[in-house]
Homo-oligomer: A and B are copies of this chain.
Amino acid sequence: MGIDASNDWILKETKFDPTALGKCEAIMCLGNGYMGLRSSTEERYVGEKRGLFIAGTYNRFDENEVCELPNAADVLEMDIKLNGQHFSLMQGTIEEYSRELNFCTGELHRYILWTAPDSNKYKLEFYRVVSLKNLHTIAQKINITPISADMEITVSTGINAQITNTGSQHFSEGPKRFYDRKYMQLVQTTTQSNIHFVFTTDVTFSENADTHIAMDRRKIFSVYKTKVAKNKCLTIQKITTIHTSRDRANENKTLDELQASALNELKAESTLGYDEILKISAAKWQELVWQSIPVTVQSSNPTDQLALRFAQYHLQIMAPAHDNRMNIGAKGFSGEGYKGHVFWDTEIFMLPYFIYSQPSVARNLEEYRYLSLPGAREKAKGNGYKGAQFPWESAWLTDGEVTPLYGAADIVTGLPIPILTGLIEIHISCDVCYGVWQYYMATGDEDFMERYGYEIIFDTAIFWASRLEEGNDGLLHINNVIGPDEYKDGIDDDAFTNYFARWNLHLAISYYDKLQGNLFFEKLDNKLKLSAQYDAWKEKAEKIYVPVSREDGVIPQNKTFLNLKEMDLTKYKNQTRVGTIYNDFNHDQINEIQVCKQADVLLLILLMEDAFTSQEKRANWDYYEPRTLHDSSLSLSTHSVLANDMGDYSLAYDLFVRACNIDMGSANMHSSDDGIHAASIGGIWQIAVLGFGGLRLVGDKLRLAPHLPDAWESLTFYAWLRGQKLKFDVTKTSANIENLTKTEAVTLEINGIEYIVEDMLETPI
C-alpha cells in the first residue's frame, strides 16, 4: 500500500495490494457512530475481512465465549461479469488504480482502468458513502465504461448474511422477501440478545436490465444482465438501509412494523439517490467537524495534517453520539478486534477529544458508564467487594465483566495464555472516575454531575475502600493487580493503581464535603449509605501506601519492579510489529524482566502532573522511557506529550509520527487488520492539542503551554471550555486565543500567569 499525501484531505492507496486488504478495510472504514462499515471491495478476495458493525448490538455465541459486536450482513458485495469475464484485480492487467477516502466528504472512491484477461478494457469507478445525516443509510454508486468494445454485463448483488465473526455466527436467519420484484429485505436476529437487524436494499441500473431474483441460505440477491455500448457509462446505484430493534425509534415496534418502516425509509433514501445522499452527508461533516472544530497545522510534513484529519474522521465515526447506552470500542466499529468491547481507552485516550471538541458526545460516553453501574456493582459483589467495580471490558450495560478468559498460545506450555485483565486490572474503576472528573472540570456540567457523575465517584470510592488490604506495616495496600503495563501481572502496590485509588477516595471525600445540604445529595447518601462510610474513607485515604520515589527520584512501578533483572531491549525497541518479545519469552519470563509494555509511572505523571516535582518527572522519564517497548499503541501519545514537557522535542515529534503510523503507516501491513487503534487515534489528537498545543487541565485549572515541533509553523484548534468555544492559533512564538461564545469569561494559565479570556487574547510564548 502506498499513501499519497499530496492532498491532505485524502487518504489514498495508489497500488492494489492483495496482501493489505485488511488494513485498507479498517483505516478507510466508513461509519457514523451508528454503524461501522469496513471498506471491503465489491469484488471478493482471499484475505479480505468484510465487516459491518452496529453500535451496542452485542451478542454472545455461547457460554464459552464472551459477548461481542456481531458482524452483520454484507451489502457491498457485487459479483461483476464483463463480457463473461469475472471482474477481479487478481486477473488481467491493472492499467491505472487509486482508492481514496476523502475525509472532507466521507466518500470512498475507487478508480480502476482494467484490461480483462480477454484484452477488453474497462473503466470502473466505485463510490460509496455511509451517511452521517441518516445514520441508517449506506449508498453505493458504480460507473462502468467499456473502452474497447461493447459490453455485456452481469451483476449479482443483494444482502449476504452468511458473514460471521471469525467463524462465530451471531444471527439466526429471519424473513427474506422481495417487494415489487425490486426491493430486497432480509432480517437477521442475534441468537442470544435477540436483536432484529432489518436490511433493505434497492439496486437501480441506468440501462434496462434483465433481473432474476434469488434466495439462498442467509442470502437474498438479484442477478442483473444488460448490454452497454462502447464508451457509454453504465451507472449502478445500490442504496441500503439498516434498522435494528435496538434503535430507540424501534423499541416498541413489532418485527412486521419494523420491516414496513424500514422499507418506507429505504424507498425515501433511494428516491434521493446516491449524489444527494452524499451531498447531505458531506454537509453534516462540515457542520459537525470541518467547519466547527478542525485541527489545522502548517507543517513541512504534509502527512501531519492528513493524520490529524484521519484522527478527527475516525473519532467522529467511532462515537455512538446518538445513544448513551453505547460507547466506543477499542477498534471503534472498524473490525472484530477486541470484540467491540469498551476499555479504559475511552476515558484516558479518546474522551479528551470529545470533552474539548464535542462535549455532548463526551457526556454521552460517561452516561454510558453511569448506566452500566448495575454491571459494575455486580462485578464488585461477585468479587466480594462493595460499590462499583467497573469491568475491564464492558459491553451490555448489565453484563459487568466481559473480558475473555484465554488468549494466544504460550510458547512454553503449548496452552492458551489465561487473560487476567478482567480479573485483576482494576485501575479501570479510577480511570472511569478520572474521565467523569475531567469532563466536569472542563465543562462545569453540574446537571451531569448531579444526575450521574457524583454517583460514579462515590461508588468507585466505596469499591476502593473495600478493596484495600491491611499490610504488616499497618498501611493499606492493593495487592495482586495488573497496572497499565500489562507485561506484569499479579503485582503488589502498582504505582498507577495506588495513586489513583487514593485520589479517587480523596475526590469522593471532597465532594461529600462540598455537597452537604443538597437535596439530590441526600438521596444519594441514602441510596449508597455514604455517611456511614465517610469516616472510614478519610482514615483509609490517609493510610493507603503509595510507592514513594527513591533518592534519585525514580518511583518504583510496583513493589518488585526495580529489583527485576535488566536486559538489553534493543531488539524489541526497534520492532516493527507489537509483541515480538513473546516470540522469545513467555509471560512468566517477561514478568521477571525490567521491561514495560507501556510505563505506568509515566502515565501517572502525565495524568497527575501537579502531584510530582520536576525532578521526579525527569528522573522517571529517564528511567522508564528506555525500558518501554511501546508494545501497546496506547503508550506513544503519553510518551510524546511527556517528551515535549521534558524538552525532548525531537523525540516528541518522532513519537507523534510513530503514533500516526500505527494505522496509516506502511511498516506493518497487518496490525490494523482487526480494526484501527482507537486509543492511538485519540492519542494523535492529544499529542497535537494537549502536547504541542499545550492545552491541559492541571488539577482543576486550565493551562496553555504550547511548544510546536520544528516542522510546524502553526497550529489552530478549537476547544469548548466551561461552555465557551475557544479558538487557539498557536505559532512557535505566540498564542492567539479567541472566545467565540463570549457569554462567559474563561480563565487560563499561560506561562504561570492567569488570563481571563472574554473575547480575544494574544500572548507571546
A682 to chain B, nearest CB (A): 26
Type the 1/0 row for A83-119, where 1 means its CB is closer than 8 Å to any CB of B.
0001010110000000000000000000000000000
List residues of chain B with CB within 8 A of the CB of A172.
61-62, 64-65
Q: Does A727 reach chain B (CB closer than 8 Å)?
A: no
A571 CB within 8 Å of chain B: no
Chain A contact residues, majority secondary structure: loop
A637 to B605, CA, bound (A): 82
Interface pair B220/A409, CB less than 8 Å apart: yes
Are B167 and A161 within 8 A (Cβ)? yes
Task: Give chain B residues whose Cβ lies under 8 Å from the Cβ of A212.
Answer: 583
Interchain nearest-CB distance for A158 vs B (Å): 10
Q: Is A292 an interface residue (CB 8 A)?
A: no
| A162 CB within 8 Å of chain B | yes
Q: Mark A165-178, 1 if CB is under 8 A from B, else 0.
A: 01111001110111
Q: Are A162 and B167 in contact (CB under 8 A)?
A: yes
Residues on B with C-beta less than 8 A from A169 are: 61, 164, 167-169
Q: Which residue of B lies closest to A411 (CB)?
A: B213
Q: Which residue of B lies closest to A62 (CB)?
A: B172
Residue of B61, B162, B215, B414 near A213 (CB, 8 A) is B414
Q: Is A765 an interface residue (CB 8 A)?
A: no
Chain B nearest Cβ from A712, distance in angstroms: 38
Instruction: Tell me the A43-70 residues at the B interface (CB within 8 Å).
Output: 44-46, 61-62, 64-65
Given A45-B46, A167-B163, A414-B179: A64 and B173 interface contact (C-beta under 8 Å): yes
Known: A65-B173, A411-B213. A46 touches B167 (CB 8 A): no
Q: How far is the CB of A185 from chain B (nearest CB, A)?
A: 9
Question: Is the pair A414, B64 in contact by a Cβ cutoff of 8 Å?
Answer: no
Once bound together, how far apart are the Cα atoms of A213 and B415, in whole Å? 11
Give the docked Cα–Cα distance between A218 and B62 (Å): 13
Q: With both chains docked as a complex, state the minimum distance between the C-beta of A764 and any C-beta of chain B, in angstroms.
A: 55
Interface status of A408 (Cβ within 8 A of chain B): yes
Smallest Cβ-Cβ distance to A189: which chain B residue? B64
Which residues of B sit under 8 angstroms from A414, Cβ to Cβ?
177-181, 213
Q: Inside 8 A of A90's CB, which chain B residues have their CB? A: 88, 90-91
Question: Which residues of the partner chain B approach A173 to less than 8 Å between Cβ atoms?
Answer: 64-65
A173: nearest chain-B partner, CB-CB? B64
Tell me which residues across on chain B come within 8 A of A19, comparing CB atoms. Answer: 86
Number of interface residues of A (CB under 8 A): 47
| CB-contacts of A361-420 with B (<8 A) | 407-409, 411, 414-416
A215 touches which one: B65, B86, B164, B408 (CB < 8 A)? B408
Give chain B nearest CB distance to A493 CB in angstroms: 33
- B46, B61, B162: which contacts A44 (Cβ < 8 A)? B46
In the complex, which residues of chain B have a beta carbon less than 8 angstroms from the beta carbon of A523?
none
Chain B nearest Cβ from A303, distance in angstroms: 27
Q: Could you mark each residue 577-599 of chain A with 1 if its beta carbon is under 8 Å from any beta carbon of chain B, else 0?
A: 00000010000000000000000
Instruction: Report chain B residues within 8 Å CB of A88.
Output: 46, 90
CB distance from A615 to the nearest CB of B (A): 45
> Whose C-beta in chain B lies nearest to the C-beta of A166?
B217
Interface residues of A in 697-743 (CB under 8 A from B): none
Given contacts A19-B86, A408-B215, A411-B181, contact A176 B416 (CB under 8 A): yes
A167: chain B residues at CB < 8 Å are 161-164, 169, 217-218
Chain B residues with Cβ below 8 Å from A216 are 166, 408
A213-227 Cβ-contact flags toward B at 8 Å (1 or 0): 111111010000000
Determine how close the nearest CB of chain B comes to the CB of A166; give it in whole angstroms: 5
Residues of B close to A220: CB separation below 8 A = 409
Any chain B CB within 8 A of the CB of A191?
Answer: yes
Among A65, A169, A191, A212, find the residue whose CB has the most chain B CB atoms closer than 10 A: A169
Min CB distance A44 to B, Å, is 5
Closest to A180 in B: B414
Closest to A413 in B: B178
Bound-state CA distance A172–B91 (Å) is 38
Quick one: which of A133-190 are within 8 Å of B by CB? Answer: 161-164, 166-169, 172-174, 176-181
CB distance from A22 to the nearest CB of B (A): 13
The residues of B that contact A45 with a CB separation of less than 8 Å are 46
- The distance in angstroms between the C-alpha atoms of A212 and B411, with both chains bound, is 8
On chain B, the residues within 8 Å of A181 by CB distance are 411, 414
Q: Could you tell me the distance in whole angstroms from the C-beta of A260 to the nearest C-beta in chain B?
A: 15
Distance (whole angstroms) from the CB of A223 to the closest CB of chain B: 10
Contacts of A65 in B (CB 8 A): 172-173
Residues of A395-454 contacting chain B, CB below 8 A = 407-409, 411, 414-416
Task: Establish whether residues B176 and A214, one from each chain, have CB atoms under 8 Å apart when the complex forms.
Answer: no
- Contact A409 to B215, CB < 8 A, known contacts A46-B45, A177-B414, A414-B178: yes
A605 to B: closest C-beta gap in Å:
36
Q: Which chain B residue shows the least CB distance to A165?
A: B217
Instruction: Please give the distance in Å from A92's CB to the nearest CB on chain B.
Output: 11
Q: Would A62 and B214 count as touching, CB distance under 8 A? A: no
Bound form: Cα–Cα A44–B407 in Å: 26
Chain B neighbourhood of A64, CB < 8 A: 172-174
The residue in chain B whose Cβ has the minimal distance to the Cβ of A412 is B181
Residues of B within 8 A of A174 (CB): 64
Closest to A46 in B: B44
Return A455 CB to nearest CB of chain B, in Å.
37
Interface string of A71-90 (1 = CB under 8 A from B): 00000000000000010101
Enumerate 12 A-B pairs (CB-CB under 8 Å) in ascending A order.
A44-B46, A62-B172, A64-B174, A161-B167, A162-B166, A164-B164, A166-B216, A176-B409, A181-B411, A213-B409, A214-B409, A216-B408
The 6 closest A-B pairs by CB, nearest first: A178-B414, A162-B167, A90-B90, A215-B409, A169-B169, A167-B218
With A166-B216, A167-B169, A178-B415 already in contact, 11 other A-B pairs whose C-beta atoms are closer than 8 Å:
A44-B46, A64-B172, A64-B174, A88-B90, A166-B217, A168-B169, A176-B409, A178-B409, A181-B411, A214-B409, A215-B416
